[in-house]
Amino acid sequence: MNDAPIRSHIEALVAEEHRLLEHGDRRSMAPADLARLEAVEIELDQYWDLLRQRRARRDAGQDPGAAQLRDAQTVEHYQQ
């Protein structure tokens, strides 16, 4: 798999995130919208991580296809 489908999925998630945020800030969101926003943010972190893994593996001369989507607990606890 090349990176294009991953980038497309990230773009779709970003668009959904923007749509959810158009309706106001987190304090005024309906609980279902807030839950979806949080899920989208986690999935975005996972897919950005996957894209970074693929690029790092490619740069190191390794198979980028061996990169795997990491669980939410892992990507949510990265130091920024």
Write the CB contacts of 20 (distance below 8 Å, at least 6 apart in sequence). Answer: 29, 33, 36, 37, 40
Average pLDDT value for residue range 4-18: 97
pLDDT band at 79 (very low <50, low <70, confident <90, very high): low
Angle at the Cα of 22 (from 47 to 70), degrees rounded to 5?
15
Structural domains counted in the chain: 1
Dump strand ranges (E) for 18-74.
none
Angle at the Cα of 49 (from 26 to 30), degrees rounded to 5?
15
The predicted model scores a pTM of 0.89
List the domain range (segments joined by +) for residue 55. 4-76
Count Cα neighbours of 15 within 13 Å in the Cβ-side half-sphere: 6
29: left (phi over 0), alpha (psi -120 to 50) or beta: beta
What is the tens place of the pLDDT at every residue in 15-39? 999 999 997 788 889 999 999 999 9
